[in-house]
Structure 1
Amino acid sequence: MEKYHFIGIKGAGMSALAQVLHDLGHEVRGSDINKEVFTEHQLRDKGIKILPFDEENITEGFTYIAGNAFDDDHIEIKRARDLGFPVVRYHIFLSNFMSRYTSIAVTGTHGKTSTTGLLSHVMNGDVDTTFLIGDGTGFGLEASNYFAFESCEYKRHFLSYHPDYAIITNIDFDHPDYFKDITDVVTAFTEMAAQVNKAVIAYGGDEYSRQMNLDLPVWFYGLGSTDDVQAVNIDTTGEGTHFDVIVMGEYLDRFTIPMFGDHHVLNSLAVITICYLEQLDMDNIKNAFVTFGGVKRRFSETFVNDMVLVDDYAHHPREIKATLETARKKYDGREIVSVFQPHTFSRTEKFLEDFAAALAESDKAYIVDIFGSAREESGDLSSDDLVSLIPGSELLYEAELSRLNSHAGAVIIFMGAGDIQKYEKRFTELLS
């Protein structure tokens, strides 16, 4: 048994890794800021101690895993290094950890968390699979030979990994505070894909994924006739979505997923491709799809009175479109209301017109104040600039949430990557 202390344990990836190591029988504790974060309850439920940052936390006998959000001059990192104790950055530790497994990295600009959650659930329907998801969820199984994990492109962190497989859900321009342009993003993904050991599984409808020139097998999945793994005969019922899967021109099986929207079909195809390549039992895989319950902050529903309140992490125009597509298909005929919190000034400015076009597909859109970042200046941009581009949209302040009561029977979707959850929580309290 090893002893680990996580510096910044409440971070989504750090929390998940801490849970994995705890489940594998190691002694795990960590430290972080004294502020409630959505990952906390999972750590506390497993009895993992969370301490406030303090250099007195640094004692002999622990390996210190440092979150990427903290610089080398952080009080605990500096103290550990001054005392000569081992300090390992999160992505370096994870790279070494996965070498003992058949590893599957799930990456892409959008859909990473949903696909990793689906992959880990479905694979565990047939084989023990340790997993790490970007919503702060992690689980370690001592007997597992597989490791599924979410791999983030931000600051090229995914270049630390050399997985056996990589799923690329899509390649799009995001993180304008780091990437220069789409060419910079494509270069990063191509470099990552070149480090894969066995095969890349990529969405065939993505023009940038198709442009990658790689010296290893690439399996394209999608809805097109040129894809290696295709979904055809797609039907939607009250139970979810049903579709046939064709692999290299041959019928594989018919699958049912308890989800709605083409993006969920595509995520499922990526998972099916991994299971096919690893020759897992397809009957067990089919049954596991049916019991998938989703991941945190991805179309998470609460039913209050006659309303459906949805919490969703969507913070990019393409993600907003996918979330609204799910709402339309699942709740056909209901009014769809968006309450959107723009995330960072740089992203809002870069995608202002794209945000407007995506949100205009709502029946009604409300925009709250931009959630800024400590690493950027606000400039002259405000949520008013977005409201001016969306017909019929309005600004909404936390003190005015009762205005949403006018949408009786509606599906109200609270979207964003900042603290939009406080708006949903407050409105739920008002309804209760």
Structure 2
Amino acid sequence: MNSQQPLDPHSLGRVHFIGMGGAGMSAVARLLLAREVAVSGSDAKDSPGLRQLESLGAEVFVGQRAENVSGAATVVVSTAIKEDNPELAAARESGLRVLHRSEALAAAMHGRHVIAVAGTHGKTTTSAMTAVALRTAGLDPSWAIGAHVADLGANAGFGAGEWFVAEADESDGSFMAYHPRVAVVTNVEADHLDHYGSTEAFFEAFDAFSDTIREGGVLVACADDAGAAGLARRRRERGGAVLSYGVHPEADVVVSAIVPAGTGSTCRLSFTAGGEPRTARLTLAVPGAHNVADAAGAFTAGLAAGADPERLIAGLAGFHGSARRFDLKGERRGVRVFDDYAHHPTEVAAALAAARDVAQGHRVLAIFQPHLYSRTREFAEPFCRALEAADFACVTDVFGAREQPEPGITGATITDHASGDRVLSTPSADEAIAAVVDRAESGDVVMTVGAGDVTALGPRVLAALARH
């Protein structure tokens, strides 16, 4: 992925987005429109997101045809766009500049100090928390995040302040494009091996990411994660600045006294501000130790940006989550149904641990949809061990996304590692819903978990509970 210095957005001419309705692409289009860049874009289907961009001034095409790129100087694609796409083929033939979405986002950030939030897990929540906290602290940041954030009103926005908070996606190496002033790394744990090929190559990519930090900038790293702590150690050895956070007693921001509190939690933060040691109590409206860790990362990033600690804590206390991150879908017959994007064993374990806190002695029931055949194959047993934290879990068929099916890789690839009947293969959504609803009692928590279309099952579970 291109790691050259970002382009000035006003040098791009008219920018055409192929697949503009997607969450990541629409965010960048929104930002370029805010910077008064001419924008057009297409998608295979119409959507409210497309129409919202049209209301902001974008020219919108439903359906993808070669003539849609006429008049554009720059074309933006994501990794999902194939070379035989008619618009991309026409752009190549005409010699137009073609940018990856990350390069277009880097252009949208031009002239701002960037806080880039990376990591195998937690980057969406940490970047959302950082943006909300900085806004509460009066810094009026811009932001681009991989999910809708209710407290910000959108997944992207352009503020008047000097800071820009961006979720930095490592899945395809595109996080090299941003050249941040502050780089946050929540954790480094092997994933996306379909792209990187090996665990070693994945870890090396994070070292390369830390090398893109601007001179005088800082790496903010979680001291509790072996991968992030190793990254921090290597950066220090190269003479780079590091701020750490976590429950580790030698972290720069130490988290202690974590107490679950209903659908939230509280903790104590110990840190240095203005040269003086300080402690503060942080109350969060979102549950789970993983959210406490994300909040500590956001707080540390805010300190690095020069924000007032007390106002950062007030901002974090007012954070109410982002879409598909422990997202309450509703309650029927005393059973609460939540949806979560977790799609790696560590994320699944964290989501179920948070559900256990919220259930307060009642049971946790889960419907899990594996995401990608390669990930299911690589992490089948760890997925099963993570799901065993639930009282009962169903595993549906794999959501293949960009991948073609692999012979023999199904949801049962995970459940084959189960001992007993707590983690079962239920290939269809109907089977999974019926199995969970038959077992659910008042006070229980039901989780729909995964990065695919399992997110649509929450309303169906609620409807089935109402009928049961």
Structure 1 length as normaliser, TM-score? 0.92
Aligned equivalents of 1:55, 1:304: Cα separation in 2: 47
Aligned equivalents of 2:463, 2:389: Cα separation in 1: 28
Deviation at 1:90, TM superposition (A): 1.6
Match in the other structure for 1:99: 110
Match in the other structure for 1:64: 75
Aligned equivalents of 1:253, 1:178: Cα separation in 2: 42
Q: Deviations over 1:158-200 (max 9, x none)?
A: 1223111110000001112122332221111011101112000
Deviation at 1:237, TM superposition (A): 2.6
Q: Which moved more, 1:86-95 or 1:329-338?
A: 86-95
Q: Contact 1:128/1:143 (CA < 8 Å) preserved in 2?
A: yes
Aligned equivalents of 1:395, 1:101: Cα separation in 2: 49
Alignment map for 1:205-354 (pairs within 5 Å): 205-212=224-231, 213-214=234-235, 215=238, 216-238=240-262, 240-247=264-271, 250-305=277-332, 306-354=334-382
In the alignment, which of 436, 444, 467 is matched to residue 404 of structure 1? 436
Deviation at 1:84, TM superposition (A): 4.3
Change in 2 beyond 3 A, CA 1:389/1:278: same
Aligned equivalents of 1:182, 1:162: Cα separation in 2: 24
* 2:410 is the counterpart of 1:382: yes
Aligned equivalents of 1:63, 1:298: Cα separation in 2: 34
Change in 2 beyond 3 A, CA 1:422/1:155: same
Aligned equivalents of 2:269, 2:196: Cα separation in 1: 36
Q: Which moved more, 1:319-328 or 1:283-292?
A: 283-292
Deviation at 1:337, TM superposition (A): 0.3
Match in the other structure for 2:7: none
Q: Deviations over 1:246-304 (max 9, x none)?
A: 12592242222112221111111111112212221233222211221211111111223
Residue type matched to 2:147 in 1?
A: D
Deviation at 1:146, TM superposition (A): 0.9
Aligned equivalents of 1:205, 1:408: Cα separation in 2: 36
Q: Deviations over 1:14-41 (max 9, x none)?
A: 12111222334444332122276x9668
Change in 2 beyond 3 A, CA 1:225/1:313: same
Aligned equivalents of 1:227, 1:192: Cα separation in 2: 22
* 2:453 is the counterpart of 1:419: yes
Q: Contact 1:105/1:166 (CA < 8 Å) preserved in 2?
A: yes
Q: Percent identity?
A: 28
Aligned equivalents of 1:47, 1:426: Cα separation in 2: 36
Residue type matched to 2:292 in 1?
A: V
Aligned equivalents of 1:398, 1:208: Cα separation in 2: 36
Q: What secondary structure is seen at the aligned counterpart in 1 of 2:89?
A: helix
- Structure 1: runs of 5 or more not aligned: none
- Structure 2: runs of 5 or more not aligned: 1-9, 149-153
Number of corresponding residues: 431
Change in 2 beyond 3 A, CA 1:427/1:35: farther
Q: Which moved more, 1:135-144 or 1:187-196?
A: 135-144
Residue type matched to 1:262 in 2?
A: A
Residue type matched to 1:217 in 2?
A: A
Q: What secondary structure is seen at the aligned counterpart in 1 of 2:194?
A: coil
Aligned equivalents of 2:52, 2:394: Cα separation in 1: 32
Change in 2 beyond 3 A, CA 1:207/1:402: closer
Residue type matched to 1:356 in 2?
A: C
Aligned equivalents of 1:44, 1:111: Cα separation in 2: 31
After TM superposition, where is structure 1 displaced by more than 6 Å over at least 4 residues in a row? none
Aligned equivalents of 1:84, 1:382: Cα separation in 2: 43
